[in-house]
Each structure stands twice: as C-alpha cells, then as structure tokens.
C-alpha cells in the first residue's frame, strides 16, 4: 500500500427494491491506499458493479459508509471519474470525440479553447489525437473505449473507477487497453479501482486483487500482487508467481478451497478480510512473489 | 429511399407517365369534370404564378390566398413545435407529470381536431386565429406524444454517465436529453407536417375570407372544375414541398442518428 488511505469502505450493504429487497452487498469492508491499483473480481452477478456504483456515489447504499479522502460520499464526489463497460452507450453519439471528452470539463474549466486543449491532450494520452473530429460511432469498440478512458483522464481524477471496462472488446484489444491503463497509471499515480470478471486481467493489472463472495457480496479474499513492473503481456503471464496467483484467484472465485499455497513459491502477502470466516482467512494467505 | 440517379429518374418517369396518360385520356374524353393536365397547369400559372418578379411572380390572387394559407400553417406548426417540444420534454422527464397527465393526453389525442373547429370558431370568430388554433391543436399531439416518449426513454447509461461526470442540470438538458429526444421529436414532426395541410384546408373551408381552402370553395361554387383541380394540384405540390423541407431539416439535424444506426458510411 502506498501512502495514506484514499478510500475507506466500511460495512457497506445495499439491497435493491423495497424493504429488505434483493440484497447485493452484505457488509463490504475495504481500505484502498493512495496510488493503488485494485482489481475486484467475483462470480457474475455478485454485486461488483453495485459496489462500484456505491463508491461513485451513483447509488446510495442502504448501510455502511464510503469515505473518500476523509469525506463521506453521499453524492458523486469531486475528483472521481468513471469508465463504464458499455462504451457505445456511455459516449454521446451526437457529439464528436473531442466534444465528448471536453463535455465534463465545463464544470471546472471556463474557456472553450482551454477545454478543447485539455481534451486533445487526454486524447493524445490514449493515442487518438487524429480522430478528434470523428464521431464515436465511426470508431471500433476498442477506440470508443479509449475515448471513454480519455474522457475520464481529462477530468484529472484522484480516483478512477472502471466497471468491466474491457468486457466487450476482443482479446488483442483488451491486452492493449490493459497496457494503456498500466502506462497511464505509471504517469499519473492516480488511484484506480477496476471491476472485472477476467481473472488473468485482475492479476495482470492489479497491485491487489479483491475477491468477492457470490451475491450478496462480501470480501472473500484480499490478495497482494507482487509481480515486477513493468508488466508485460507475455513475460509477466509466464511467471510462476502470476500462474500461482491466477490459480488462487480462480479457486476463490469458484468458491473452492484455496491452495493456501505460498510456502515461498509465489502469490501475494495474504491479508485476511474483515468479516470473512476462518476458512476464507486461511485461504487468502499467500506468500511473496518469486522475483524471477 | 435511395437518391441514386437511376432510382431518381425512375421516380420521375412514373409521375411523367401518369401525367401523359391522363393528358391523352382527358383530351380524348373531353369531360369537363376531368380537364387535361395542360389545362390545369395553365390555370395554375394564370391564377397564381404569372405575377411580376417584384412579387416573387405571384399574382394578386397568389398573394391574397396562397400566402395567408402558408402563414397559417407556419404559425400553427410553430406553436405546436414550441408547446409540444417544451411540454414533451418536461412531461417525459417527470414521473409525476407523466402520471397525472398521461390519461388526459391519451384522451385529448383521440379527439379529432376538425371536430373542434366549431369551438374555435366560437372562441376566436372566423379568421386567421381560428385557423391557426385548429392547425396548432391538431398538430401538437404527434409532436407532444413522440417527444414525451423520446425524453422518457433516454438511455439510462447515458443518464448515469451525466451523473457520474456531474453535468449540471442545464447541460444535462441541452447536451443529453434534448439531443437524445430529437429522433422521436422529428418522427412526430413528420406526421404533424402532413396533418397541418389537411387542417389548414378544412379550417379554411369551414369559414374564411381568404386562403387556399376559401379559393377552393369559390371554385366549387362557380362550377369551375379546372380551378378546383388547379387548387388540388397546388395542395399536392405544397404537401410534397413541406415533406421535403422537413426531411432536409431532419437530415441535417440527425446525421449522428443515421450514422449511429449504421445507415451512413
């Protein structure tokens, strides 16, 4: 963990519908440090996206608290940006790429020229300067998601939330986008919270992988990823440490007893998650990555 | 619809063929009820379009009857667009307003506008106000109901995006809700433009001292069938012109919509 706590999630519960309704979150407790890149994985439908929406202030949770930089989150807070999974619906088709990126800046930047410059800058970061005049629907899925990332970066957030951002692009594009996020993060040191259903991805991009239980979600395991930087799609994924961690995460997601593993071979420095039962606690133990 | 040259030629060829057949048949019959197209065209020219250049080639009759009708359509549609557009967005975005007003709107929509002409005559007396009211009342419904639907069904992901990026209310309206509603608004406008012509003629037939409908009344009561036909053809041409105008505006405003639906390269 780097520095102080950026985000503190305490006993977060949420249920949809009236009364007890459909529970989605069941006491999620999690602390994320400044500058961390945290992946959240879990079985599909477990409440990952609900957790992210509560953190973003888009949903008011039924219980517990979210504290961002010491201030409780009860509406969408300052300094936060979101990348949604459904890029084709979250970009506005009537605005050009540049105007899409510049739109959220109106709140913070007065001059149109300044906003346009910031937007072009962000588009440059994701490698799309030359298509600024185009419309989102003229671009491929991967490029549209790059635009959505640029829109988030242009706001210069301290906390970037991503909800299965690469869930609907092809494998090659997904790898490129993963590397793009790693590069962006390298330069900016922002804190990133990414929900994903892809186990390899969670380990590859994360400093930490949070595994949630099947819904309603609790934290099943909190694994530290001690893989060397810079990460590389081929070399990193061939490391024993990577293979071990992905197996561990895979088991945890499937709800199988984890190979407490570790014992010097690979994995992460396990930290038990509050609220977990003792089985989970043992399971999430792991050892330091092998510095191959 | 394709605008490829071949298709365009085919469309005009069909119209030309019908006109030629009618011409041959009418000359052969010599019926006074069905004058040949050449006579109708000549009458149209004499009646409305043989005026001086300073009056845009309109005759006094064209200025006195065609222009007032066009003005009434424009005024009626303008009111319908303003009321239907503004109220439509407001109702579509407000759950409470929708709940209260929906039954009322469904009832009012089912009311044929022409049946209200006597009411409007009583309210406004004969003349332009009554006619504009008839057109506005009849054309507001397609615009209003389509706009309500469009505003109500703005993509929830887009709405959530606006919230996540904290777009202020005004920008949410101008940069998201209004553009997202436009396709449905134009679907309504298309229907209203066609309706406007019908309502204009009906209102002017019911009671007016000028206008195309008034002129049609005159033509009919003087048993001048060529004049009647000239008015009918004029209305048909105007109807087509309005549709083309509406399509041009829509084409310009909704380029993104065609593109996003994959109908443009």
Using CA atoms, how far apart are residues B263 and B207, in angstroms rounded to an integer? 46
Domain for residue B175, yes or no? yes
Domain that holds residue B74: 61-253
Interface residues from chain B to A (CB-CB < 8 Å): 155, 157-158, 160-161, 163-168, 171, 175-176, 179-180, 182, 256-257, 259-260, 262
Measure B187 CA to nearest chain A CA, in Å: 17
Domain for residue B194, yes or no? yes
Residue A281: predicted pLDDT? 37
Residues of chain B with pLDDT under 70: 1-4, 263-265
Using CA atoms, how far apart are residues B251 and B187, in angstroms rounded to an integer? 12
Two structure tokens written together for B62: 């064209």
Measure B156 CA to nearest chain A CA, in Å: 9
Among A59, A94, A99, A138, the strongest candidate for a mutation testing the B interface, having the largest count of B CBs within 10 A, is A94
Instruction: Say if A155 is an interface residue toward chain B (CB within 8 Å).
Output: yes
Comparing CA positions, the residue from A32, A21, A15, A39 lying closest to residue A206 is: A39
Domain for residue B161, yes or no? yes
Using CA atoms, how far apart are residues A272 and A284, in angstroms rounded to an integer? 6
Instruction: Say if A86 is an interface residue toward chain B (CB within 8 Å).
Output: yes
Residue A138: predicted pLDDT? 92
Q: How confident is the model over A189-213, as pLDDT tens digits?
A: 899 999 998 999 999 999 999 999 9
**CA dist B186 to A94, B90, B196, Å?**
15, 17, 15
User: Which residues, 6 or more positions from A269, have their beta carbon under 8 angstroms from its beta carbon?
Assistant: A224, A226, A286, A287, A288
Do residues A27 and A275 lie in contact, with contact meaning Cβ atoms separated by under 8 Å? yes
Compute the radius of gyration of chain B from its Cα atoms: 22
Domain for residue B19, yes or no? no
Q: How confident is the model over A130-186, as pLDDT tens digits?
A: 999 999 999 998 999 999 999 999 999 999 999 999 888 888 899 999 999 999 888
Topology, domain A5-73+159-176+192-290: Rossmann fold (3.40.50)
Torsion of CA B24, B30, B35, B38, to 10 degrees: 50
Domain for residue B16, yes or no? no
Residue with tokens 């191959």: A292
Residue B56, classified by CB atoms within 10 Å of its CB into exposed (0-12), middle (13-18) or buried (19+), is exposed
Do residues B130 and B120 lie in contact, with contact meaning Cβ atoms separated by under 8 Å? yes
Taking CB atoms and an 8 Å limit, are A89 and B166 in contact across chains?
no
Using CA atoms, how far apart are residues A111 and A113, in angstroms rounded to an integer? 5
Two structure tokens written together for A127: 């490698």
Domain for residue B245, yes or no? yes
Taking CB atoms and an 8 Å limit, are B256 and A151 in contact across chains?
no
Residues of chain A with pLDDT under 50: 1-2, 260-292
Residue A178: predicted pLDDT? 92
- Considering only CB atoms, B166 lies closest to which of A93, A107, A135, namely A107
Taking CB atoms and an 8 Å limit, are B259 and A93 in contact across chains?
yes
Q: How confident is the model over B6-46, as pLDDT tens digits?
A: 777 888 898 899 999 999 999 998 888 889 999 999 999 99
Number of structural domains chain B divides into = 1
The pair phi, psi for residue A165, each rounded to 5°, is -65, -25
Residue A276: predicted pLDDT? 41
Residue A258: predicted pLDDT? 56
Residue A3: predicted pLDDT? 55
Residue A22, classified by CB atoms within 10 Å of its CB into exposed (0-12), middle (13-18) or buried (19+), is exposed
Using CA atoms, how far apart are residues A193 and A53, in angstroms rounded to an integer? 11
Taking CB atoms and an 8 Å limit, are A93 and B168 in contact across chains?
no
Residue B231: predicted pLDDT? 94
Using CA atoms, how far apart are residues A49 and B129, in angstroms rounded to an integer? 57
- Considering only CB atoms, A93 lies closest to which of B163, B166, B260, namely B260
Comparing CA positions, the residue from A175, A162, A18 lying closest to residue A87 is: A162
Do residues A242 and A223 lie in contact, with contact meaning Cβ atoms separated by under 8 Å? no
Task: In chain A, list all ranges with CATH 3.40.50.300.
Answer: 5-73+159-176+192-290
Two structure tokens written together for A52: 């992210």
Two structure tokens written together for A65: 């608290």
- What's the CATH number where B68 sits? 1.10.3720.10
Comparing CA positions, the residue from A258, A219, A280, A253 lying closest to residue A9 is: A219
Residue B263: predicted pLDDT? 53
Using CA atoms, how far apart are residues B146 and B188, in angstroms rounded to an integer? 5
Reported ipTM:
0.81
Taking CB atoms and an 8 Å limit, are A137 and B259 in contact across chains?
yes
Compute the radius of gyration of chain A from its Cα atoms: 19
């Amino acid at each position: 963990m780097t520095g102080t706590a950026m985000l503190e999630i305490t006993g977060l519960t949420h249920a949809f519908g009236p009364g007890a309704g459909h529970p989605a979150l069941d006491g999620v407790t999690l602390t994320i440090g400044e500058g961390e890149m945290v992946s959240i994985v879990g079985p599909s439908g477990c409440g990952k996206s609900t957790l992210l929406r509560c953190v973003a202030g888009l949903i008011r949770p039924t219980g517990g608290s979210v504290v961002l930089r010491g201030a409780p989150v009860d509406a969408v807070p300052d300094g936060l940006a979101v990348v949604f999974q459904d890029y084709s619906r979250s970009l506005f088709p009537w605005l050009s790429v540049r105007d899409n990126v510049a739109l959220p800046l109106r709140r913070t930047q007065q001059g149109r020229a300044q906003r346009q410059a910031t937007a072009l800058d962000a588009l440059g970061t994701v490698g799309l300067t030359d298509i600024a005049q185009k419309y989102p629907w003229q671009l491929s899925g991967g490029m549209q998601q790059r635009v959505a990332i640029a829109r988030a970066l242009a706001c210069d957030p301290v906390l970037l939330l991503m909800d299965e951002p690469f869930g609907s692009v092809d494998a090659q594009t997904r790898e490129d986008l993963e590397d793009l996020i790693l590069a962006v993060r390298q330069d900016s040191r922002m804190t990133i919270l990414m929900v994903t259903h892809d186990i390899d991805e969670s380990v590859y991009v994360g400093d930490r992988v949070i595994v949630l239980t099947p819904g309603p979600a609790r934290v099943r395991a909190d694994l530290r990823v001690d893989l060397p930087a810079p990460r590389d799609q081929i070399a990193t994924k061939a490391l024993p440490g990577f293979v071990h961690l992905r197996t561990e995460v895979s088991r945890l997601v499937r709800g199988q007893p984890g190979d407490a593993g570790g014992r010097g071979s690979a994995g992460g420095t396990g930290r038990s998650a509050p609220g977990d039962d003792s089985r989970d606690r043992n399971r999430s133990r792991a050892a330091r990555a092998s510095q191959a | 619809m394709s605008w490829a040259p071949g298709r365009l030629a085919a469309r005009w060829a069909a119209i030309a063929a019908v006109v030629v057949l009618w011409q041959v048949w009418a000359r052969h019959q010599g019926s006074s009820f069905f004058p040949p197209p050449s006579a109708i065209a000549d009458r149209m020219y004499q009646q409305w379009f043989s005026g001086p250049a300073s009056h845009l080639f309109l005759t006094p009759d064209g200025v006195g009857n065609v222009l007032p009708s066009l003005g009434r359509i424009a005024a009626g549609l303008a009111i319908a667009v303003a009321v239907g557009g503004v109220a439509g967005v407001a109702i579509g975005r407000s759950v409470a307003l929708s709940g209260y007003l929906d039954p009322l709107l469904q009832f009012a929509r089912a009311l044929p506008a022409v049946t209200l002409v006597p009411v409007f005559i009583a309210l406004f007396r004969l003349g332009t106000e009554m006619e504009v009211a008839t057109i506005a009342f009849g054309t507001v419904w397609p615009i209003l109901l389509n706009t309500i639907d469009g505003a109500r069904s703005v993509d929830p992901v887009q709405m959530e995006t606006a919230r996540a990026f904290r777009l202020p209310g005004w920008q949410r309206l101008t940069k998201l809700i209004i553009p997202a509603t436009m396709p449905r608004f134009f679907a309504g406008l298309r229907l209203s433009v066609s309706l406007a012509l019908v309502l204009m003629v009906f209102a002017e037939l019911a009671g007016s001292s000028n206008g195309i409908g008034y002129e049609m009344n005159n033509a009919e009561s003087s048993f001048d069938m060529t004049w009647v036909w000239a008015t009918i053809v004029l209305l048909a041409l105007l109807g087509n012109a309005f549709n083309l105008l509406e399509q041009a505006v829509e084409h310009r405003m909704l380029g993104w919509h065609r593109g996003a639906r994959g109908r443009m390269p």
